[in-house]
Every structure is written in C-alpha cells, then in structure tokens.
Structure 1
Amino acid sequence: MTVRQLVAAVLALSLSACATLSPHEADRAAAIAASARPTTLDCERIDACAQPSPLRELAGRAFSESSPGQPRHYAVILDSGTDAMLARVNLIRSATTAIDLQTYIFDEDDAGRLVLDELLAAARRGVRVRLLMDQLSALQNVETLAALAGAHVNFSVRLYNPVLRRARISYPQYVLAAACCWRQLNQRMHTKLLLVDGAIGITGGRNYQDTYYDWDDEYNFRDRDLLVAGPVARDMAVDFETFWTDPRSVPPARLVDVGHALLEDGVPVLAPHGFDHPARAEAMRDDAADPQLVRERLVEPAIAVGEVRYISDTPEKHNGEDPGQLAVASDSLRGLIESAHRQVLLQTPYLVLSKPAQEMFRQLHDRPGAPRVIVSTNSLAATDAFIAYALSYKYKRRYLREFGFEIYEYKPFPADAPVDLSATGAVVPDYEPVQERARTRPPDRDSVLRTARYRQPLRSEYGATRYLRRQANEPVPLKRAGVRVGMHAKSLVIDDRVGVVGTHNFDPRGDHYNTESAVVIEDPAFAAALEASIRRDIAPGNSWVIAPRDKAPVLWGLEYSLAKASEYLPVFDLWPVRYATSYEFVPGPTCPGPLPPDHPRFRECHRPVGDFPEVNLALKGLPTRLFTAFGAGLAPIL
C-alpha cells in the first residue's frame, strides 16, 4: 500500500467513525423502533404466567421474616457455572413484574442467546424487562441491537457510555477512540446484576458468555456469583435505576450505526440462534423447569443471614478529573481489609495492585501482630490476560517481602474445580488426582494430543507466529491440550466474620476507571462457607504456591539487590532472575499435607516447578519478560 493509499484509508476510517446521527434522525429512528414493538401478550394473568420457583420463594420467606431493624436474607454461593445458569433461567421465568439485567459482557453465543431468549419470553408474557450493557462488550451485531430495539413494548435496551456514539466499534475505530477520547474509552461499567421483581438478585464475576457457564470447549472461568434474596434487593433496584436513567445509558436506536440501520431498513426480525449444542441448551431449559432439582441444587444450600450490604460505584465515578474520589466500592473494600485482625483471604484473577492498595498492604504488614494475607490468583498458564500477569510477576518480591502475601496461583487443569467439564462439549482427557499422580507418573494426555479435534488448534497454538497476534485477553500456549480453566472469581473473607463477593478485581482499573459492585455479609456461617470455597481453589491439586527460590550459592545478596533495584524502574526492568518461583506439593510419609511457605519444613514437602509451569517451553518466557521489562506503565489501565 502506498503512502497516498494509507492516508486515504485513514481519512475514510476517520470520516466513517465520526459519522453522525442528527437529533431529528435519532428521533425518527427511535420512532421506527417504537412503532414496530408488538403490544400483544402471551399471557393475560396478573402474575404474567410466572413459573413457580423455590428460589423465588426464598425472597418471600426473607421479607416475611424481616422486621424494621432486623432484616432477614438468604444467600446462595454460586460456584458452579451450570448452577449459575440454572439460577438465572429459573429466576427469569419466575418473574411476575420486572427484570433488570446489568452486565459488562453480553455475547451472542449459546449462553448469551439462551438468556436473551428467556428475557424476550418474559417480556412477551407481560414482565417489564430492562437490559443495560456496557457498550464495548455488548451484543456483537448491529442487526441484533436493531431487532431488539423493536422487539416488544415490554423490552428495553440501553448501552452504557458509547464511544464515538456508536453501538459497535471496529478495532481501527477503537484506535481512533483511544486518540480522541481516552478517558471515555476507559470508563466502563463493570457492574453486574440480575434483579427479579425487586426482591432477589444475583451479582458477582459472571458475564453472559459461554466461558462463564462451563460451556466453552477450550477455556472456562472458575467464577463465583452470589444470589441474595431479601430487603437488600431494594438497594440493588435503586442502584440499577441510577445507571438506567443516567445520560450515559443510551438506547441503541439513538446511536449512529443502529440508528442508520433502522432508518434504512426498519426493524429486522431477530434471527433464531443456531445453538452449537442444542441438546445442552434444551437440557438447561428442562432443568430450570424442575422445582425439585432447583430446590436440591440451589435452595437447600442457602444460608440464612441478617443484614446484607450492597456497595456500588454509581455513574458519578465517571464525572470529574479524579474518579478515585468517587470510588465507593474501592474505599469500602479497603476499609474492610484494614479492619482485619487475624486473616485476609483475597481472591482475584489479576494480582495488579493500585498504589493506594500497595500502601495499605504495606502498612498492614508493618502492624504489630499483622494479619495473615492469603491470595488466590491466576498462574500464567491459567490466566486470560498475560500482560496483567506480567506485572504481577514483576512485583512478586514486593508482594512476598514487603506485604507478607502468601500467594497461590491457579492451575490451568485443576484436579478439583467447580467446573462441569462434561458441559463444555469437549473431549475431556482422563486426569488422575494430584496425589496419585505424584506417586505414579505424569498424566498421559498423548491420546488427546493425537486426536483430530486438537491437532489443528495445537499447530496454531504452538506456532511462534501466534505471538504476533496475541491479545491482552488471550491465554498463552501450554505444553498439553485440554479444557483449560482460569480464575475469574473476586471474593474476600476477613477473619471469620465478613464475606464479600463482587465484581472488583482489586486492581487499578477498579479503583479509577470501572464502576464496581459487591455484596458484603457479616455472618460467621457465610464467611466460613466462602472461605471453604476459596481454600478449595488453593488446595495443592488446584494451585501452585509461590515462595522464594533457593538462594544462589554465591553473590546472592548482590543478585537480590540488583533485582530489587531493577523492579523499581518503570521501564527497562531486564533483570532475568526473580525473587520467587512456583512450588508443587509432593505428598509422602513425612508430608501428609501442604505447608505454608514460611514453615521451616516447606522445602521438604514442596519442589520448585519453575516460574511458568505448564506453559509451552518454546517461547514461554519471552512475552512475559518483555512486558515485565517495558509494560509497567500499563498497570493503571489493565
């Protein structure tokens, strides 16, 4: 391409990206969508033909047992992806008056379309449905958004903070937006909430995409949601209303691309989704209609608690020049951590701490009788964001020495995870428990590597050219094939008394750019249940433990000093040796269970397995070391 052609292409892109929709055109497009919305209902009953639900009954019990000053709530920890989907479908069908759904990602894959179909069915039977999505990660097709704009009089859609006044932007337009509108581009709605009839809500880490519900055949998240029934739902409703009525929340018909599509072609018919696994979707629909199954899997594990707090950043966080002043969620979480006396149990997928968080943990560690801080996070092999991991890798010495962290990194093939591998639709290799494997031999995945299903993906995955197109949210290549699992849960347990489940990654983005939310429950039984869930994730079969590497036989002090000095450089951090590495527990007669890294016999029961275990040897260290060397400046926006 010549320079003239390149300039012409850039100019054409700029003109396209900056195309406008006049107020008159926006009014016409909105009118077209409104006039196309059907008003007929599939049900004439006052309860909108809601499906009886044992989950919905939890809300009735909670409100009937509550009194002024003494609220009653029921909380259900949703660890399993299939249970999380089951709860959502069942609750949507139980709605009698209103459904409010707020999310960061809403994809058009099997999981996303199943939920969307259920929402539309609820609207057609008489339930008011409002769907609020962050613009950057909303439904992928302009045609889908145009169809939803006119789907039904009871169904409304809005997109939060649309960049370039468009519903969808291409990667070149993203680059243009970064040049013209950097602050707006980074101000995202990371809040996630499903609220039914203003009485029962679900919030936590999950978006609407196959990977969050154990439905992807390559990579799934080990995530966590919390279902809460009771009076706190009123606070959730107020918070949703604040977002819904904010000027940043825009109906798609008033955006350039969807508006022009409506003006040119009217409201299209929403095409039926061709499910990749139709039997799986149908099985989920059947399960959601089975009250006994819902009762056994979701209602019986419910924990009765008293007061529940819902903390949330509002859109005001995106006003002004210093968003940190309005970071309600960040301030509340820091306050909880600072209240710890005995232990902080923190789970985050991306261990990249903001400067205020680093200072808080430093001061916490310097206290007399400092609380123990245990962190569950991703390994490089498990993460979906290798650049974020690179910065975590850069500061491991600081985390261990200055903050006193005890870090456990999640394995890509955990031996005991709340992930339903059979639901993924993939060929699942046999996997021996870690204790048996340690006594016998490494697992044999050769049969998997030779299958036609994996050969082509692996050739692409192991090729060096893959690094030329690696994205920030793409897992790195591994030594072996299989359905990979990555940590996405965001939770916190303080001492034995407070449990928190939310959307905040405890990172700079959550402090400064994203709106975040969390449920806080001060109750020993709930805190114990949440702690047990996190401790399952840090068990030896599921995580490696991070600890200082063995000291070099000579010049160890000089090596340590050089590495420490290099760590504090914002760029050119090229020192090749890091303070810490990964360790695997090796059971034996004298080692019946794992030991913490500060135990004097730790090395007798754990063996070092390298900085990046399980990662493909070909180029495993290159991207991580490059971003460690040059990417520190990216920390605030990762």
Structure 2
Amino acid sequence: MSPTHRLFTALLVLLLAGCSTLSVRERRDAADLALAARSTEVGCREGVDCAVDSPLLALGHAAVAASTPEAPRHEVVLLDRGQDSLLARLHLIRAARTSIELQMFIFDKDDSGVLVLEELLAAARRGVKVRVLLDQLYGLPDPNLQASLAGHHANFELRLYNPTFDEAKTQKLQYAAGILCCFMKFNQRMHTKLVLVDGVAGITGGRNIQDRYFDWAEGYNYRDRDILVMGPVAKAMAANFDAFWDYERSRPAEELKDVAERLHRNGGPPPSWLFDPERPPPAPRVTAMRDEAGDGAAVMARMEPLRLAVGRVDFFADLPEKHGGELRAEEDASLAMHDLVESTQDELVIQTPYLVLSREARKVFRGLQKRAAKPAVWVSTNSLAATDAFPVYAMSHKYKRLYLRELGFRIFEYKPYPTDAPINVAATGVLGEERAAHLPMFGSGSSGSSSGPVPLKRAGIRVGLHAKSLVVDGSIGVVGSHNFDPRSDNLNTESMVVVHDPQFAGALLASIRRDMTPENAWLIAPQEKPPVLSGLNYSLGKLSEKLPIFDIWPFPYATSYELVPGCNPIPPGQPGFYDCYEDVGAFPEVDLPLKTVYTRILTAFGAGLVPIL
C-alpha cells in the first residue's frame, strides 16, 4: 500500500473511531451503570417460565453418569428439520437448571431470534447462569438492544467477538475501512455455532439463529443440519466455549463504544422494544412453538425416532488463538477434517454449500486419486439457482473440470425447488392466496446482484443448501460448521462433531443421499464430446481454466443433467448415459440474460479471492 493510501486509510479509521464522544472514564462509568442496574432477583411463574421436566435432558445426565474414559456413552439426535432444531434448542433452554452457553455467528431479531432470546432471559431470571457469545458482525447488531440487555440481570452476560472498530454495529463505511486498514483481522470471524445446556447436552452444526434456518422465512430458506449430542463430549464443548469467552477479542457488550454511549445518555440501560409491555403480541407460530417447547414428554416423543445410542463421539473445534497467530490456521478443526478425508478407504460423501477447495484440500483429494484402489467421492452442493452466494458459485463453476476429471468427484447440485426436502412448507407462512399475493420474494430471488439468490424462471418455496457434513466409509459421520473451503481453513473458527458409529453414519448418509436424488438435484457431468476437435476443445478449456484472471473459453467442460422420465440413474461415462439424461444447461432455472457471461465476469473478479471465499 502506498503512503498516500496508508494516510487515507488512517484518516478514515480515525474519523470512524472518533464518532464516539465519550472519554475512557465515561465509558467505564457507563459499564458500571449497566452492572449496577442488573437485577439479582430470582424466580419464575409456574406454567409460564419455570424450568420444565425434560426426559431428553435426563438422557444426557444418564449418559455422563454411565460413561468411563474407556467406554463413553452418548445419545445423539440428527436434526435435519428446521422446526425440530428450533424446538430442541428452546426445550433444552427451558429445561436448564444450572447453565446455558450460546455461541453463534448470526443472531437475528426476527421471530426465532426473539423467541430464543426471551427464553434465555427467562432462564437467567429463574437462576440459570446464561452466557451468550456472538460474532460482532451479525450478532444482534443493535446497540440500544445490547445496552438494555447489558443491564438486565446478573445471571445474563453478553459478549461480542472481534468488534473491529470497538462497536456493536458495523456501519457501511466501516466495512470499507475494515478491508482497507485491517483486512485480515476484519475477516477473522467466529463461525462456531453451539448451544450447551447444564454441561451435558449440546447442539451444533450449520444453523444460526435466524428464521431462514428454521423454515420460518417467506422468501428463501436453508436446507441445513444440526446434531444434538448428550454425554461426556459436552465437557470438550464447554472447554472450547470457555476458551473463546476468556479470549481478549471477546468483549462485554457494555464496554463497546456505541453501547456505552446509550448507557451514558440514559443514565443506565435504555428502554428497549424487547421489554415494551405495549409490544404487539407474537405471531401464532411463535406461541405454538413456545408452548410445545414446554412439554417435555411431547418433545421427547418427537425426538425419539431420531435418537441413537452411540459410543465414541469427538468434538473438534478451533481455538481463538487461530486468530492471534498462536496456532497455525490449518490446525484443530481443519486438520481433523483433512485427516478424516485422508483416512477414507472406499467411499467419501461430502455435503457443503460452497464447493471451493483450498490448495491443501486439493492435495488431499489428489492423494486419494493416486491410490491403486481409488475411493469414490460423492459431493452434494448448491446449484447457482439455489445458492445465495453468487461469487462463490462462480469459483466453483470455474473448476468443475478439475473436480470431475482430476479429483474424481461425482457432483450433485441442489435444486431451488426440491421435490422431497425436509422443509416444513406450511411453517414458512407463504401459503394461502392472501399471503402469496403480497410476497414480492415469493419464488424469486434478488435482482441478480452479486449477493443473495439470483432471479429464477418460476415461482415456488425456494430452498438453498447450507448443511456441512460428511460420511467416511459408511462408519463415521461428521456434522459441523466447517464448509471444507479456504475461509473455514484460514479465517473462520469452526467446530464439528464426529460420531464413530455405523448406524449414525448410515442415517446421515441416507439424509445426504436424499438431497442427491434426481427429484432434488441436478447431476453434473462432462458434456458429450463434439464429433470433431474434442481433444483441442478440452485442452483449450483446461488452459483457460488456469488463467489467473479470466476464464475465457466459451465451451465449458461440464453441464447439468436431468434424469429422463422412465430411466434409472446411470453413472457418467457408462453406455446409455446421454440417452437417459437431458442436458439442461450450465445454469438451469436461472432467469438472467447472458448467464454464462455474467458468471464468467464474477469468476474473473473472484479469481483472486479464493482464499477468503
């Protein structure tokens, strides 16, 4: 960076930092106001917000009691459905007796977010120690709300991870300044997701606290996956949470500048819409979910068909020192992930929303292909029509030849309107003539910008893949937050649960296979060879792919295929494949002019961004 640029950046940062009018002493006094305002009263209203009996949580205590270091016992529940995952979280929070730790990347103020937040506050008021750690960029970015929460109760603590400009809310100019002045630190995010109750039961996986993760969004919902694990591995989850909680980048909300300003201005915690007695009543679905979460027997009955008793379960998670330079970025969760992939003997099944591989990951997969007995590698990922990350998909599209030809992947791209998906359509709220008629996002994407889903040719309940899982040799199942991409390796902190049990691995495999069926996904395979100059076409395409900026060759190696009705699935390369599969183009369902050119342009701009995608 030139001296002029450095000076400009420094001035911009100083300008942004100077927005606070409080002195250091005034900020310290503001924090003291929040601490002094915290209620110490403990109590609850029977049948309203008191702790409920939980057969589910009892399984966690029983598993811990029955375990030994040599013979651990765990209970696990695979949470494929968003409504099940929200219910499990709320019920465990309602059942907590001693402690709740919540660690999250995104925590929104929509229906699900407010519902979870209210249950956390109710738990604190009845005597449960509640600690909430949110990544600063997307964790309740409302300084007034945070100021109010900071002074609510002595049993409730809120901290924000990595507030780059020492504030709860990042302004638009601060995003630009973050890139200019402190790119690496600004991009080091806490991507971990965890809800841990009473030190015996934890939920982790791909879901954040936001409506679209629980089938409650009207325009676009995620097909995601979590795991509820109960037993001694929860101790490792607690230790990892404590490491983040105590790390220097985790800041109490009341110490942040914009939060302190509101505390100072109001002489204590300011009024908040969350505690407004005149606030409109919650939506019927919120009331119904809250009521169901309070019925331990009903929750247990709903989770029982999904429950498995297993033995060994491991929890691998990055430590915050990954962001401080004390640990190599590829250690911990990423290292465990690479070791699992390398251990594959026969078959590896991966599900990731973003098929962008780091150089290290490519080396691992190339190593698998060099073996005399090459393991099969199946990949479930997003199509352009389903993804909400256009630039990331552009990079995935650029390297399809590499993935198919050199790494041996069999790729299935998720459809935006899957026929058979674990999505509760009724819960989205878009059904019915009156609702559908007033939904501008119903069945369509954004205007085709580089962020958000793209426009589609037809309407429907739109779904994008967000699950991060893998199955190794049908015997080990992994559910976590790691996207198997460079950002997860190098910038984000990630976590994952590894279950060493064939029955669980089989259930997870069936779940991923479901997303790869012709009803739910397009098969990605090489295009039929042209009758002449096929070798030249391949060579020129490969050369174009290796260009550092533009991928200019207009004849892509691969395309999307739809199974012809009446045909059975056939592997690419087998006789009769092109008779049973219809070429539906590189970007089926997408309603954009010059789609290929658009994607190539994004690829050109994104080529240098692979490490942070």
- Would you say same fold, with TM above 0.5? yes
Deviation string 1:90-142 (CA, Å, 9 cap, x unpaired) is 00000000000000000011111110011001001110100000001111311
What are the equivalent positions in structure 2 for 1:531-610 lying under 5 Å apart? Answer: 531-588=509-566, 591=567, 593-610=568-585
Partner of 2:593: 618
Residues 1:385 and 2:370 are matched in the alignment: no
Q: Which amino acid in 2 is paired with 1:394? A: K
Residues 1:630 and 2:605 are matched in the alignment: yes
Kindly state the Cα deviation for residue 490 of structure 1 after the two structures are TM-superposed: 0.2
Q: 1:82 to 1:394 in 2, by over 3 A?
A: same
Kindly state the Cα deviation for residue 263 of structure 1 after the two structures are TM-superposed: 1.1
Q: Which amino acid in 2 is paired with 1:627? A: L
Residues in 2 aligned to 1:412 and 1:353: alpha-carbon distance in whole angstroms: 23
Kindly state the Cα deviation for residue 264 of structure 1 after the two structures are TM-superposed: 1.2
Kindly state the Cα deviation for residue 14 of structure 1 after the two structures are TM-superposed: 5.2
Partner of 2:184: 183
Partner of 1:495: 473
Partner of 2:157: 156
Look up the SS of the partner of 2:487 in the other structure. Answer: helix
Residues in 1 aligned to 2:465 and 2:137: alpha-carbon distance in whole angstroms: 22
Partner of 2:416: 412
Answer whether contact 1:110 1:276 (CA < 8 A) is retained.
no
Kindly state the Cα deviation for residue 35 of structure 1 after the two structures are TM-superposed: 0.9
Look up the SS of the partner of 1:374 in the other structure. Answer: strand
Moved more, 110-119 or 296-305: 296-305
Residues in 1 aligned to 2:281 and 2:466: alpha-carbon distance in whole angstroms: 24
Q: Which amino acid in 1 is paired with 2:265? A: E
Deviation string 1:396-444 (CA, Å, 9 cap, x unpaired) is 0000000000000000000010010100001379xxxxxxxxxxxxxxx
Kindly state the Cα deviation for residue 19 of structure 1 after the two structures are TM-superposed: 4.0
Residues in 1 aligned to 2:91 and 2:255: alpha-carbon distance in whole angstroms: 33
Look up the SS of the partner of 2:499 in the other structure. Answer: strand
Residues in 1 aligned to 2:82 and 2:214: alpha-carbon distance in whole angstroms: 4
Deviation string 1:457-497 (CA, Å, 9 cap, x unpaired) is 589968xxx34xx243x001111122210000000100021
Partner of 1:434: none
Q: Which amino acid in 2 is paired with 1:84? A: S
What are the equivalent positions in structure 2 for 1:204-603 lying under 5 Å apart? Answer: 204-265=205-266, 266-272=268-274, 278-320=283-325, 323-325=328-330, 327-427=331-431, 452-454=437-439, 456-457=440-441, 466-467=447-448, 470-472=449-451, 474-588=452-566, 591=567, 593-603=568-578
Residues in 1 aligned to 2:327 and 2:547: alpha-carbon distance in whole angstroms: 26
Kindly state the Cα deviation for residue 553 of structure 1 after the two structures are TM-superposed: 2.4
Partner of 1:67: 68
Q: Which amino acid in 2 is paired with 1:582? A: S
Q: 1:276 to 1:579 in 2, by over 3 A?
A: farther
Residues in 1 aligned to 2:132 and 2:364: alpha-carbon distance in whole angstroms: 37
Q: 1:344 to 1:523 in 2, by over 3 A?
A: same
Residues 1:126 and 2:127 are matched in the alignment: yes
Answer whether contact 2:219 2:442 (CA < 8 A) is retained.
no
Residues in 1 aligned to 2:443 and 2:366: alpha-carbon distance in whole angstroms: 45
Deviation string 1:33-87 (CA, Å, 9 cap, x unpaired) is 0011111122499xx9421012112112212332341110000000000000000
Kindly state the Cα deviation for residue 605 of structure 1 after the two structures are TM-superposed: 1.9
Q: Which amino acid in 2 is paired with 1:186? A: N
Look up the SS of the partner of 2:309 in the other structure. Answer: strand
Look up the SS of the partner of 1:31 in the other structure. Answer: helix
Residues in 2 aligned to 1:565 and 1:523: alpha-carbon distance in whole angstroms: 44
Answer whether contact 1:101 1:131 (CA < 8 A) is retained.
yes
Partner of 1:439: none
Residues in 1 aligned to 2:510 and 2:94: alpha-carbon distance in whole angstroms: 31
Moved more, 15-24 or 395-404: 15-24
Look up the SS of the partner of 2:535 in the other structure. Answer: helix
Q: TM-score, normalised by structure 2?
A: 0.94
Kindly state the Cα deviation for residue 321 of structure 1 after the two structures are TM-superposed: 8.6
Residues 1:95 and 2:100 are matched in the alignment: no
Residues in 2 aligned to 1:22 and 1:527: alpha-carbon distance in whole angstroms: 56
Answer whether contact 1:345 1:375 (CA < 8 A) is retained.
yes
Look up the SS of the partner of 1:356 in the other structure. Answer: helix
Residues in 1 aligned to 2:167 and 2:587: alpha-carbon distance in whole angstroms: 40
Q: Which amino acid in 1 is paired with 2:560? A: S
Q: Which runs of 5+ in 1 are unaligned?
A: 1-6, 430-446
Q: 1:547 to 1:248 in 2, by over 3 A?
A: same
Q: Which runs of 5+ in 2 are unaligned?
A: 1-6
Look up the SS of the partner of 2:165 in the other structure. Answer: helix
Residues in 2 aligned to 1:622 and 1:508: alpha-carbon distance in whole angstroms: 25
Partner of 1:3: none
Look up the SS of the partner of 1:578 in the other structure. Answer: coil
Look up the SS of the partner of 2:106 in the other structure. Answer: coil
Partner of 1:16: 16
Answer whether contact 1:596 1:602 (CA < 8 A) is retained.
yes
Residues in 1 aligned to 2:496 and 2:13: alpha-carbon distance in whole angstroms: 40
Q: 1:52 to 1:609 in 2, by over 3 A?
A: same
Deviation string 1:546-602 (CA, Å, 9 cap, x unpaired) is 0001112222211111110010111022212210000011231xx2x3222243332
Answer whether contact 1:312 1:328 (CA < 8 A) is retained.
yes
Residues 1:54 and 2:55 are matched in the alignment: yes
Moved more, 16-25 or 483-492: 16-25
Kindly state the Cα deviation for residue 322 of structure 1 after the two structures are TM-superposed: 7.6
C-alpha RMSD over aligned residues: 2.4
Kindly state the Cα deviation for residue 292 of structure 1 after the two structures are TM-superposed: 3.4
Residues in 2 aligned to 1:74 and 1:459: alpha-carbon distance in whole angstroms: 39
Answer whether contact 1:275 1:281 (CA < 8 A) is retained.
no
Answer whether contact 2:136 2:169 (CA < 8 A) is retained.
yes
Kindly state the Cα deviation for residue 617 of structure 1 after the two structures are TM-superposed: 4.1
Q: Which amino acid in 1 is paired with 2:296? A: P
Moved more, 76-85 or 133-142: 133-142
Look up the SS of the partner of 1:226 in the other structure. Answer: strand
Q: 1:459 to 1:205 in 2, by over 3 A?
A: closer
Kindly state the Cα deviation for residue 275 of structure 1 after the two structures are TM-superposed: 7.3
Deviation string 1:235-258 (CA, Å, 9 cap, x unpaired) is 111110000010110011111111
Residues in 1 aligned to 2:244 and 2:573: alpha-carbon distance in whole angstroms: 46
Look up the SS of the partner of 2:438 in the other structure. Answer: helix
Partner of 1:442: none
Moved more, 406-415 or 18-27: 18-27
Answer whether contact 1:547 1:581 (CA < 8 A) is retained.
yes
Q: Which amino acid in 2 is paired with 1:634? A: L
Look up the SS of the partner of 1:406 in the other structure. Answer: strand
Residues in 2 aligned to 1:281 and 1:497: alpha-carbon distance in whole angstroms: 38
Residues in 2 aligned to 1:481 and 1:169: alpha-carbon distance in whole angstroms: 34
Residues in 1 aligned to 2:356 and 2:216: alpha-carbon distance in whole angstroms: 28
Percent of residue pairs bearing the same amino acid type: 54
Q: 1:111 to 1:623 in 2, by over 3 A?
A: farther
Residues in 2 aligned to 1:313 and 1:321: alpha-carbon distance in whole angstroms: 12
Look up the SS of the partner of 1:137 in the other structure. Answer: strand
Residues in 2 aligned to 1:598 and 1:489: alpha-carbon distance in whole angstroms: 29
